[in-house]
Amino acid sequence: MTLDITGVPVVDAAVANALFKTAQAVKLLGATVILTGIQPKIAQALVELGVDLSSLVTRGTLESGIAHVLDR
């Protein structure tokens, strides 16, 4: 499953928590989340919030996320 956040203007603790919980729920269903569209300011906010994305596949663009799936 690709979760594209290109249009998300701001990520605060609540949004980061929702993204992480969604990814965990998808993982419980046996799928993998690929988080795409992470803009530089969003990446910085996630780091500042201490969000651990190491369990997710992340790509900068939706296109690179799709390419990742097709390369499997």
Return the domain boundaries, the chain: 2-70
Q: What is the mean pLDDT of residues 57-64?
A: 92
User: Distance between CA atoms of 60 and 9, rounded to whole angstroms?
Assistant: 15
**Mean pLDDT of all residues in the chain?**
90
- Quote the pLDDT of residue 54: 84
- 28-53 tens-digit pLDDT: 999 988 999 999 999 899 899 898 88
Candidates 35, 34, 37; CA nearest to 61 is 37
- Quote the pLDDT of residue 30: 93
Percent of the chain with pLDDT over 70: 100
The torsion angles phi and psi of 69, rounded to 5 degrees, stand at -65, -40
Q: What pTM was computed for the model?
A: 0.80
- For the 2-70 domain, the top CATH level (class) is alpha beta
